[in-house]
Each structure stands twice: as structure tokens, then as C-alpha cells.
Chains A and B, each alone.
Chain A
Amino acid sequence: MSALGLALAFWIGAWLLNIWLANSRWRDTRAVRIAVPVLFGVTLLVLWEGIVRGLNVSPVILPAPSVVAQTFAASTDLLWVDFVQTVLKGALRGYVIGFVAAVLCAIAIDRSAFLTRGLLPIGNFFAALPIVGVAPIMVNWFGFDWQSKAAVVVVMVFFPILVNMVQGLRATDAMQRDLMRTYAASYTQTLIKLRLPAAMPFLFNGMKIATTLALVGAIVAEYFGSPTRGMGFRISTGVGSLSIDLVWAEIAVAAMVGTGFYGLMAWIEKRVTFWHPSQRN
């Protein structure tokens, strides 16, 4: 029980420290802004460790974070192979294809106001659907390897990016477009110099939503058949063979990739749309 007691004591201590930090006079500094959530996250991990050790939870049900970390360090080769198969081959290729297709489609459809009005409700509806369900169909069409995973990802990321891009292309107001007309700018010039830059905040919104969807699609598609590697494959077989610590290591990889991918998109967004009010402090 002492492990549990220690964890609880740590929890209360961290809580009090956070309250003090959040109300101290350094509360608006960058260090405190980072320290408070980090402390909160560490507390969760400590509590988890304490509960597992203190209550003697069987590792088959829930392994302690320290055990997961050991497994992680011991099987980096395996995790790397799965990472390449699922993320680099499946998710990333599908993401790029879906992104290019959605942007081109949005620019093409944008030329007709009639089609745009029809597309927006349909696109919004499709973006809300459980599209992951097409995974078995895609595995049937494109085989077990990464092509079918990329196909699922394409379908999943297409609609959020399309809808946001179409809305972004409509974001310029009449005054700005009139100005371009007084410069005698052609359609292409207006598109490149005015409307595409104006669409960027919307586009990045869609791209950030799509990062998680891409991983979800690539992992779920592996539940329906994959070569003997890949994160989804490892998770589903790991659950079956009760190597739960490996499954948690895989989940940790998925979490890091998801956060990293999102963070990367947010970072690029900051560089590209530095002019937008939401990016200025």
C-alpha cells in the first residue's frame, strides 16, 4: 500500500504546487505555462504507477508505466518497423494523396458558385460520417499491403480538407477581389496572389483535423488484414496473445506520432499564416 500512499501524496503535493504556480506572480511567464500542464501529466503517470503497484494489478490487465517504458526501450527495432509500415507508408502517403486531391477538387469546383453551394452541405455531411467503415472494402479492393491503408486514409482526410478549402477560397471579400480587377489581374493571378493565401488559415484547420484521421484510418485498416507488421496488426495480435505491455508501447508510439504530426502542422501554419489575427499575440 505504500506505493499507493506515495503516489497519493505526490498527487496532493503537485496539486498544491500547481495552484500556487497558477496564482503566483510568474503565472504569465512561459516557464510556468509549460510547467503546470507537464506537472499535471506527470501526476497522472505517478498515480497510474502507484495504483498498479499498490493494488497489485496484474500486468495482463494494466502494466505500470515503468514496465511499458522498459518494453519500449527493449523493442525499438520492432516499433520502428511498425512505424515505417503504418505511418510512413500507409498514413503519410494517403495523407498527401488525399490532400492534393482535395485541394485540386476544391479549386476546380470553386469556379462554379452553383456547384459550391451544392458541395458544402454534402461535404460537411460526409465529413461527419463514420468513414472508417470503408476499411474492409478498401482492403478487399487494394490488398493487404500499405496501398489499402493509404486508400482508407485518402477517403478519410479528403472531406474535411475539401470543405475547409472551399470555404477558404470564398473567404476573400468583394472589395479585395475588386482591387485585383482594377489591377487587371487574370483568374490565375487572383488565385495565386489573393485567394490561395487567404484560404490558408482554413486549409490548415482542415489539415490539422486530418492528421489524427490519417492515423486512425491507417491503424483501423490493419485490423482487417495486413502483412505481419504495422501498429494496428501489433495491437490486435498483442491483445490476443496478452503481451499487453507491447500494446501500450505501441499506443505510446501512436500518441507521440499523433501529437508530433499535429504539432508539425501547427508549426507550419504559424510560418505560413503569420499575418492572420489568430497568430498575432
Chain B
Amino acid sequence: MTRTLLPVLTMLGALVVLWYLAVAPMNIRVALDQAERAGADVVPEGSVARRDVSVWRLMAQNGEHIRAGYDLNRPRLPTPAQVGQELWKTTGEMAMKGRAWSKRSLIYHGWITLKSTLWGFLLGTTLGIIGAVAIVYSRVADMSLMPWAIISQTIPIVALAPMIIVLSSQIGVEERGLPKAIISAYLCYFPVLVGMVKGLRAPEVSQLDLLRTYDASGVQSFLKLRLPASVPYLFTSLKVGIAAALVGTIVGELPTGAISGLGARILIGDQFGTPLAIWSALFAAAILAGLLVTLLDLAQRIALRRMGATP
């Protein structure tokens, strides 16, 4: 644990430093425009004249205004501290005031996204496991399904996302959760399918033969040998799958006028020109992904220990 903790922290620290360094050149133009409007002297004058001057020269000529770039209301690139503040303002602070479920709180939007993600994850995992069982037990399914499962993942589903949303609303499903769940299930079923096929085929011939000498039926050898043997593979692909499901939900929220969910926050932040809202929604999505994967990792450790695996 400590062997990786220190390097990870070093890398994260380096990233934050790089980020802070990048803020100055990214925001210098906005900062200079603002300073000029406030009456300060800026070289060269007028934002049109500055457009052809490189940011490095602007920074060298207007050293005293660089600091202003770190404290803008609508920065091109906010500082990590600004993003952190915004994140806290829309989660912890609102929760403490008892407004956790307000429409402006990221907890509410995160919950909407989480709900669709979990539905999609459930649907995708079920489809993936059923598909894997079919593929392992039936030659026809193996030969006809497997190539299409691979091809399905090379098709950019986002092209279909607006279609799925429009289709389901025309069929009469007004609830936005369903189309989003379908998109995330589409992204999530594949890792589960591939992992489960591998896992169900993991038992060796000698083990299957042993069960045959016990006169075990097909169902028995499935329940007592193939299924337990596939559990480590299942958990590994579930971790990939839940991250994919979250990506799917957010993609489903991005394209067409959704109003709730983290993806919708990104869209709204774009339309209203509030970069801080976009960045804080992005970070909330990252935190959500981290939480979900960690939870599954924990479940995997507990399940494998219960099943007698040595760590």
C-alpha cells in the first residue's frame, strides 16, 4: 500500500502544480480585459489589438495582472481551489443547510445519474451473464453472437443516443431514465459478457470429468463448478462495467436538452457560460466513478475471502 501511495501522491501533486501553472497563460486575456474595463493600464490597449499578441508576451508586459487570472468569475481554466470551492458549495454546504435535494445541488443531480447508472448496470450485467451462459452452452450462440458482440462495441453508441431518447419519447416513455439506462447497458454488457465467457470456461477438463464421475447433472455442474469458478472474472469485469455504465449515462444526458443529472449540468453550464459548473460536474462524475469502483472492489475482496481464496 505505502509502496504505491507515495508515488501516486507525487504524481497528483505534480498534476496540481502543472494545473496552477497553466491557469496563468490560459486566463491572461480574460484577466486583462477585465482589468482594462476597471480602468487599469494594459499593454497593448484594446482586446482586439491583444488578439494577435502571444499570451507569453502579454504575461511579460502585464506582470501585475497575472494574479487576477487566478480569481475570475468566468475563467477559461479555473484553479483547482475554485473547482473545490464550487464543489463544496453545491454539495456539502447545501447539505448542511438542509437543501441537499434542491435542484441546484450536485447531490441531487448525482443521485439522478447514479439511479440511471445502476439500472443500466443491472440490465447490462443481466444481459451479459445470460449471453455468456448461452455462448458457453450453445455452439450456435457462440458462432452467431460473439462476432456481433465485438462489432457492437466498435459502433460509437453516442451516434445512437439522441435517436434512442427521441424514439422512447415518441413511443410514450416520458421518463428520461429508461433511454439513459439502455445506453449505459449497451456499454456495460460487453465487458461482463467477455469476462463471464472466460470465467465459465475456466474449469479444466479434468474438473469437469470429475463431476461427470459423480454423475452430476448439467445444472449441478453449472452451479457447483462453473459458476463459482467464474466469480473472480465476474468481479473484475463488473468493475470495468460499472465505469462504462456511468460513461453511458452521462453520454445519454449530454446531447438533447436533459435537465437533471451530472451530464445535464455540464450541458447547462455550457449554455449559460458558467465554466465552474462544468468543472464541478466533471469532478463530481469522477468522484462517483471512484466510489462505485471502490465499492465493487470491496465486495470482490469480501466475496473472494468468503469463498476461500487466499489474498
Contact A262 B148 (CB under 8 A): no
Bound state CA distance, A125 and B286, in angstroms?
Answer: 9
Contact B167 A61 (CB under 8 A): yes
Given A27-B139, A40-B144, A239-B256, A133-B158 contact (CB < 8 Å): no
Chain B 158-170: CB-based contact to A (< 8 A → 1; otherwise 0): 1110110011001
Taking chain B's interface residues, is the majority helix, strand, or loop, or is none over half, making it mixed?
A: helix
Contact for A121 among B4, B159, B167, CB less than 8 A: B4
Q: Using a Cβ cutoff of 8 Å, how many contacts connect chains A and B?
A: 166
Q: Is A255 an interface residue (CB 8 A)?
A: yes
Q: Is B76 an interface residue (CB 8 A)?
A: yes
Taking chain A's interface residues, is the majority helix, strand, or loop, or is none over half, making it mixed?
A: helix
Q: Is B275 an interface residue (CB 8 A)?
A: yes
Contact A130 B250 (CB under 8 A): yes
Given A33-B143, A121-B8, A251-B160, A259-B250 contact (CB < 8 Å): no
Q: Is A231 an interface residue (CB 8 A)?
A: yes
Q: Is A122 an interface residue (CB 8 A)?
A: yes
Contact A223 B254 (CB under 8 A): yes
Contact for B255 among A33, A140, A220, CB less than 8 A: A220
* Stretch from B62-70, B99-107, B264-272 contacting the other chain: B264-272
Which residues in chain B, 39-69, are within 8 Å of chain A measured between CB atoms? none
Chain A nearest Cβ from B3, distance in angstroms: 7
Bound state CA distance, A223 and B270, in angstroms?
Answer: 11
Q: Is B200 an interface residue (CB 8 A)?
A: no
* Stretch from A45-53, A71-79, A111-119 contacting the other chain: A111-119
Q: Is B133 an interface residue (CB 8 A)?
A: no
Interface residue range, chain A: 35 or more
Contact B147 A37 (CB under 8 A): yes
Chain B nearest Cβ from A68, distance in angstroms: 12
Contact for A254 among B10, B140, B159, CB less than 8 A: B159
Which residues in chain B, 275-308, are within 8 Å of chain A measured between CB atoms? 275, 278-279, 281-282, 285-286, 289-290, 293
Contact A129 B289 (CB under 8 A): yes
Contact A136 B266 (CB under 8 A): yes
Chain A 232-264: CB-based contact to B (< 8 A → 1; otherwise 0): 100110010000100110110011001101100
Q: Is A141 an interface residue (CB 8 A)?
A: yes
Contact B11 A122 (CB under 8 A): yes
Contact B162 A236 (CB under 8 A): yes
Q: Is B154 an interface residue (CB 8 A)?
A: yes
Bound state CA distance, A60 and B166, in angstroms?
Answer: 10
Contact for A115 among B7, B151, B256, B279, CB less than 8 A: B7
Q: Is B155 an interface residue (CB 8 A)?
A: yes
Q: Is A172 an interface residue (CB 8 A)?
A: no
Contact A40 B255 (CB under 8 A): no
Q: Is B145 an interface residue (CB 8 A)?
A: yes
Q: Is A194 an interface residue (CB 8 A)?
A: no
Given A128-B243, A239-B166, A118-B11 contact (CB < 8 Å): yes
With CB as the reference atom, state the residue of chain A lying closest to B293: A128
Contact A22 B139 (CB under 8 A): yes
Contact B7 A130 (CB under 8 A): no
Chain B nearest Cβ from A114, distance in angstroms: 5
Which residues in chain A, 13-58, are within 8 Å of chain B measured between CB atoms? 18-19, 22-23, 27, 32-33, 36-37, 39-41
Chain B nearest Cβ from A153, distance in angstroms: 12
Contact A136 B144 (CB under 8 A): no
Q: Is A164 an interface residue (CB 8 A)?
A: no
Bound state CA distance, A259 and B159, in angstroms?
Answer: 14
Q: Is B202 an interface residue (CB 8 A)?
A: no
Bound state CA distance, A106 and B158, in angstroms?
Answer: 29
* Stretch from A96-104, A196-204, A211-219, A269-277 contacting the other chain: A211-219
Q: Is A132 an interface residue (CB 8 A)?
A: yes
Contact B159 A219 (CB under 8 A): yes
Contact B251 A122 (CB under 8 A): no
Q: Is B195 an interface residue (CB 8 A)?
A: no
Contact A212 B153 (CB under 8 A): yes
Contact B143 A118 (CB under 8 A): no
Bound state CA distance, A236 and B161, in angstroms?
Answer: 10
Contact B143 A37 (CB under 8 A): yes
Q: Which residues of A contact B293 (CB under 8 A)?
A: 128
Pull 9 A–B residue pairs with CB atoms less than 8 Å apart, ordered by A. Answer: A32-B143, A40-B145, A125-B290, A130-B250, A139-B270, A216-B251, A220-B158, A254-B159, A261-B154
Question: What are the nearest 6 A-B pairs in CB distance?
Answer: A118-B7, A136-B270, A40-B144, A128-B243, A118-B11, A37-B147
